């Protein structure tokens, strides 16, 4: 399948020099801190992708991002690159963008429409700022997140409503690299 990712030019340079690049948590923009939902996602990916070693994932677009808008979201004067990749299905996990946002916000991933009663439930208990909820609620919440991987959730949707993750960016997967200058 075809995917795209937007990365600093230094990532592309590392891929060219080493043949691959893994996410460096120290450079992720959070001073080395990893949100708990990312750790949960890594554990899920280790179970679902046989070759997954446990590194933080790279985020991929399933639809080609238009550089006319992307450049305006990047710092002015900084070089970045849009990498076009061809990846085998067995190395990638896809899901709905909106579903990941629910997981990222530590909310309940509903079966159908994204109605969020979880927020009301946690607010009533004074838990709205907790990183981890008391047992058994944390387990119930994470069980709802399993829906992220249900194929029927993404069936029939445009590729532009999907995103994907992969553990490593490899030179052999790169079809095209298009550098661009940020304009924000």
Tell me how far apart the alpha carbons of residues 28 and 74 are, in angstroms, rounded to a whole number. 15
Q: Is the peptide bond before 136 cis (omega within 30 degrees of 0)?
A: yes
Q: How many domains does the chain have?
A: 1
Q: Is residue 31 part of a domain?
A: yes
Q: Which stretches within 49-167 are classed as H helix? A: 67-70, 97-104, 117-124, 137-145, 151-154
Residues in the chain with pLDDT < 70?
A: 29-30, 112-116
Residue located via tokens 């080493």: 18
For the record, the structure tokens of 144 come out as 């709802």
Residue 51 counted as domain residue: yes
Which residues form the domain of 57? Answer: 2-104+157-181
Q: Contacts by 173-177 with C-beta closer than 8 Å and gap 24+?
A: 173/85, 173/86, 173/87, 174/15, 174/83, 174/84, 174/85, 175/2, 175/84, 175/85, 175/86, 176/83, 176/84, 177/12, 177/81, 177/82, 177/83, 177/84
pLDDT for res 112: 66
What stretches of the chain adopt beta strand conformation (E)?
2-8, 20-22, 58-61, 79-86, 92-96, 162-166, 168-170, 174-181
Residue 128 within a domain? no
CA-CA-CA-CA torsion for 152, 153, 155, 158, nearest 10 degrees?
A: -170
- Give the C-alpha separation, 93 to 165, whole Å: 6
Domain presence at residue 148? no
The 10s digit of each residue's pLDDT in 61-73 is 999 999 999 999 9
- The reply to whether 39 falls in a domain is yes
CATH number of the domain to which 14 belongs: 3.20.170.20
**125 inside domain:** no
Identify whether 71 is part of a domain: yes
DSSP 51: T
CA 161, CA 158: separation in Å to the nearest integer?
6
Q: If we measure between CA atoms, which residue out of 45, 155, 158, 41 comes closest to residue 91?
A: 45
* 114 in any annotated domain: no
Rounded CA gap, 87 and 7, in Å?
Answer: 17
Give pTM, 2 decimals: 0.88
């Amino acid at each position: 399948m075809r995917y795209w990712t937007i990365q600093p030019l230094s990532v592309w340079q590392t891929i060219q020099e080493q043949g691959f690049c893994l996410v460096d948590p120290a450079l992720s923009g959070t001073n080395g801190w990893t949100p708990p939902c990312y750790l949960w996602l890594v554990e899920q990916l280790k179970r679902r992708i046989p070759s997954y070693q446990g590194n933080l994932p790279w985020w991929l677009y399933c639809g080609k991002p238009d550089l006319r808008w992307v450049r305006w979201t990047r710092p002015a004067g900084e070089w970045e690159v849009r990498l076009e990749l061809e990846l085998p299905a067995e190395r990638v996990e896809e899901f709905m963008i909106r579903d990941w946002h629910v997981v990222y916000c530590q909310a309940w991933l509903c079966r159908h429409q994204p109605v969020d009663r979880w927020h009301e439930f946690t607010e009533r208990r004074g838990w709205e700022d907790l990183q981890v909820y008391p047992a058994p609620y944390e387990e119930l919440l994470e069980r709802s997140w399993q829906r992220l991987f249900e194929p029927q959730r993404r069936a029939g949707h445009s590729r532009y409503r999907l995103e994907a993750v992969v553990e490593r960016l490899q030179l052999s997967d790169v079809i095209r690299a298009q550098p661009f200058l940020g304009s924000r």
